[in-house]
Chain A
Amino acid sequence: MSKKNGSSNSSNGSKKGGYSTKVGLAEMLKGGVIMDVTNAEQAVIAERAGAVAVMALERVPADIRRAGGIARMSSVSMIREIMASVSIPVMAKCRIGHFVEAQILEALGVDFIDESEVLTPADEAFHVDKHAFKAPFVCGAKDLGEALRRIGEGAAMIRTKGEPGTGNIVEAVRHMRSVQGEIKALTVLPKEELMTAAKELQAPYDLVCWVASKGRLPVPNFAAGGVATPADAALMMQLGAETVFVGSGIFKSDDPQPRAEAIVQAVLHYDNPKKLAEVSAGLGEAMSGLDVASMDEQDRMATRGW
């Protein structure tokens, strides 16, 4: 089994892989766009467009849906190729609970590991013990309880799950509103009610108390899943997201480069409708979407993990 804590102290008093160093990188990624890419050429388009990081994966979620079968960690050579082609941080996904895929990603020097519901879960009961790693982790969450369970396990960044690969923002909105609403609700509870709140949220008590007193998550809170347009990205920012992941939305659209650039501008100017109108002009067709309501339960990715 993996060791207890992934951080290491050196003789000169410095410490690598500590939790605050992991959350620190998440802080640096705020106010930006993280783009899914499947090869070095797309990574270069993303970096040139102003992405703050890229997510290296074999297929974007829309194609994972189409292909079916088992979706696993991306190939090592592809991740290496992408790492060599850009100077911005490179993230990659491991399956839920697949701590060996995570160990491999860490050994490759991936900057952030996404324990992701987009891939087929490897463990139906347990997520990865993320404290055991030097590399920081991001995890998806549908609500506050799920977010705090992942943070309890060591996640340094939380993102909405959304419904990946659909080009449909409705689930990301639901998840962001639910996290924000539950945070607000906690802030007005008297101290003696917080243990019961923790029981109902199925979340660690100390994290529930922290959130109740500060009114926010202890780690950056990003949006993901279904972002297809600059307006979608700005919507998530106005709802309280601090950075936006774009998966299929860029490279499944007609003309990826201008769309990528426009989404970067939309995140910067998220509260300026005039600018948003300007950057939304002349982008060609967005990816074609999927109606989440008409999807079969087994086709949903957001329900993977707990």
Chain B
Amino acid sequence: MKPLAGILALQGDYEKHRKSLKRLGLRVRYVRSAEDLTGLAMVVLPGGESTTMSLLLDSTGLRAPLHDAIAAGLPTLATCAGTILLARELQGDTGSRKVDPLGLLDATVDRNSYGRQVDSFETVVEIDWALLGVDDPKPMLPAWFIRAPRILGPGPDTHVVARYEGEIIAVRQGNILAITFHPELSRDTRIHAAVLGFGTA
């Protein structure tokens, strides 16, 4: 049977990730409770509002089981708000409700680091595919930065996979790929495929 991919679907652009995973021919399940975590080959933490997702991780009882599944080695792709949720520490969390991150990614993540929506942008970025265990002759990837965070001060086992204008925009730490932008807004599924591959490497 085809591998089953899970997407944390508390809020955000889980629909776009579903399309990317379907394009890869995977079965897809929206994760909204602890039971939904069983049998997954990978999980995606999508973009969206990290304050809302953090609150809903608690109200659904998903916080501990999701933390434990990722800590136990479940291949994990985090985009934008998902990366904020994984961080060890946050900066720029200036709102009235603080995000309570899972602390699984050894890095500080700076929220809304490029400014507001008028500062959001699209571009192409260069990925170090070798660090993802992939031999890809085409390093460039279309990327959307939407009220995006920045990754600061990664720890010794958190490897930089991509930079944009010198700033870290993607890191790999074992079974986790955490990025600050949105590859799921294009038809390019190479990032999703690479994370699925973490499970077999």
Shortest C-beta distance, A280 to chain B (Å), equals 15
Interface contact A24-B48, CB-CB below 8 Å:
no
Contact of B116 among A13, A18, A50, A111 (CB under 8 A): A111
On whether A18 and B122 interact (CB within 8 A), knowing A48-B97, A50-B56, the answer reads yes
> Interface size on A (CB < 8 Å)?
42
A-B contact count (CB 8 A): 133
On whether A27 and B117 interact (CB within 8 A), knowing A32-B49, A88-B51, the answer reads no
Contact of A28 among B12, B32, B95, B119 (CB under 8 A): B12
Chain B positions within 8 Å of A136 at CB level: 117
Tell me if B100 is interfacial: C-beta within 8 Å of chain A.
no
Interface contact B121-A21, CB-CB below 8 Å:
yes
Q: Mark A53-76, 1 if CB is under 8 A from B, else 0.
A: 100000000000000000000000
Shortest C-beta distance, B19 to chain A (Å), equals 11
Contact of B12 among A18, A30, A109, A111 (CB under 8 A): A30
Interface contact A89-B96, CB-CB below 8 Å:
no
Tell me if A199 is interfacial: C-beta within 8 Å of chain B.
no
Interface contact A15-B122, CB-CB below 8 Å:
yes
Tell me if A233 is interfacial: C-beta within 8 Å of chain B.
no
Tell me if A78 is interfacial: C-beta within 8 Å of chain B.
no
Among B32, B93, B97, B115, residue most surrounded by chain A Cβ atoms (within 10 Å): B97
Shortest C-beta distance, A269 to chain B (Å), equals 8
Chain A positions within 8 Å of B96 at CB level: 43-44, 47-48, 85-87
Q: Mark B164-181, 1 if CB is under 8 A from A, else 0.
A: 010000000000000000
Chain B positions within 8 Å of A197 at CB level: none
Q: Mark A1-37, 1 if CB is under 8 A from B, else 0.
A: 0000000000011111110110011011111100000
Interface contact A106-B118, CB-CB below 8 Å:
yes
- Once bound together, how far apart are the Cα atoms of A20 and B142, in whole Å? 12
- Once bound together, how far apart are the Cα atoms of A112 and B146, in whole Å? 13
On whether A31 and B14 interact (CB within 8 A), knowing A25-B147, A87-B112, A264-B52, the answer reads yes
Tell me if A52 is interfacial: C-beta within 8 Å of chain B.
yes
Tell me if A130 is interfacial: C-beta within 8 Å of chain B.
no
Interface contact B123-A28, CB-CB below 8 Å:
no
Tell me if B89 is interfacial: C-beta within 8 Å of chain A.
no
Q: Which of A62-119 contact B (CB under 8 A)?
A: 85-89, 106, 109-112
Shortest C-beta distance, A91 to chain B (Å), equals 10
Shortest C-beta distance, B188 to chain A (Å), equals 13
Shortest C-beta distance, A260 to chain B (Å), equals 12
Tell me if A135 is interfacial: C-beta within 8 Å of chain B.
yes
Closest residue of chain B to A31 (Cβ to Cβ) is: B11
- Once bound together, how far apart are the Cα atoms of A84 and B13, in whole Å? 25
On whether A16 and B49 interact (CB within 8 A), knowing A21-B146, A28-B81, A31-B12, the answer reads no
Chain A positions within 8 Å of B97 at CB level: 47-48, 50, 87
On whether A20 and B49 interact (CB within 8 A), knowing A14-B121, A25-B117, A47-B97, the answer reads no
* B residues with CB within 8 A of A: 9-16, 32, 47-49, 51-52, 55-56, 59-60, 80-81, 93-97, 111-112, 115-124, 144, 146-147, 165, 182, 185
Given contacts A24-B120, A48-B97, A111-B118, 4 further A-B contacts (CB under 8 A): A85-B95, A87-B51, A111-B117, A112-B117
